[in-house]
Amino acid sequence: MSTLKTSEGTSIYFKDWGAGKPVLFSHGWPLDADMWDNQLDFLAENGYRVIAFDRRGFGRSDQPWTGYDYDTFASDINDLIVSLDLQNVTLVGFSMGGGDVTRYINNYGTSRVDGLVLLGAVTPLFGQKEDYPQGVEASVFAGIQAGLRKDRAQFISDFATPFYGTNAGQTVSQGVLTQTLNIALLASLKGTLDCVTAFSTTDFRPDMAKVDVPTLVIHGSNDQVVPFETTGKVAAEMIEGAQLKVYDNAPHGFAVTHSDQLSADLLEFLNSL
């Protein structure tokens, strides 16, 4: 396996396919790099070098006890970018992964970055704060953590319904549901729990101001997990010149339900840079 030892000693697994301008993918919770396989294969076939990694605590990466915060996630991405000497890279982040690629730009700048793509992302703010009352209430995230502690396997199995929108007209195969559960159960329970705290409490509004590269925001209009009106819509408004695409009735997991549409939109954006 291809792995990187980060600056503080955590081993991070990554895939590195194809040749050409690089595109770096950061996955959502509670998944790993395998969520991107369709997009990776498509873009590599169309002349791009694609890199996707397993976040610390997930998939084939190490499971440290600490480090599940966005500054550390951004540091891990920086270590990967520097180690592979990626230049003119486009950063793609889904759900909680939208936070770490944005925090990377905030902390490390855009000297190596050509573009940013936020897919169903938790930016600029997912959870409710005093000055952001429209965010998701803290009790929702406490319920997620309680469900994980009680019966993680069943909770993740049930979570697939709103994630893929199978209660709102979307159809996914039993194989996809099985793979999703298998991927989620590879993760550290500690990392799975701590990431809920990270993505529900981290405020990315200051990070938005640091984004100075072409940006594509894609969100499902029927996202039952990360509400479009308080995340994707606001992020696109905050990032100067951002392009917004809203997939009609698409769920949070549109990388599966709208896979071909997403691949085509990614290729169009990459070709425009």
Confidence of residue 252 (pLDDT cuts 50, 70, 90): very high
H or E segment and range at residue 76? helix 70-83
What global pTM score does this model have?
0.98
> Between the CA of residue 168 and those of 211, 222, 248, 251, what are the distances in Å?
34, 8, 12, 8
Percent with pLDDT over 90 in the chain: 99
Query: What per-residue confidence (pLDDT) applies to 156?
Result: 97
Query: What per-residue confidence (pLDDT) applies to 254?
Result: 98
Confidence of residue 76 (pLDDT cuts 50, 70, 90): very high
Average confidence score pLDDT of the chain:
98
Query: What per-residue confidence (pLDDT) applies to 40?
Result: 98
Hey, what are 147's tokens?
A: 């469900």
Confidence of residue 251 (pLDDT cuts 50, 70, 90): very high
Catalytic residues: 95, 223, 252
Query: What per-residue confidence (pLDDT) applies to 56?
Result: 98
How far apart CA 135 and CA 20 sit, in angstroms, is 39
Query: What per-residue confidence (pLDDT) applies to 181?
Result: 98
Provide the pairing of β-strand 215-220 with 113-119. Answer: parallel
How far apart CA 125 and CA 31 sit, in angstroms, is 20
Confidence of residue 1 (pLDDT cuts 50, 70, 90): confident
Q: What are phi and psi of 104, to 5 degrees?
A: -60, -45
H or E segment and range at residue 177? helix 174-186
> Between the CA of residue 88 and those of 14, 85, 111, 224, what are the distances in Å?
19, 10, 8, 34
Percent with pLDDT over 70 in the chain: 100
Angle between helices 189-201 and 96-108 (to 10 degrees): 70
Query: What per-residue confidence (pLDDT) applies to 78?
Result: 98
Which residue segments constitute the domains of the chain, with CATH numbers given? 3-272 (3.40.50.1820)
User: Residues 34, 37, 40, 44: is their CA dihedral positive or negative?
Assistant: positive
Query: What per-residue confidence (pLDDT) applies to 126?
Result: 98
Query: pLDDT for 170-225, tens place per residue?
Result: 999 999 999 999 999 999 999 999 999 999 999 999 999 999 999 999 999 999 99
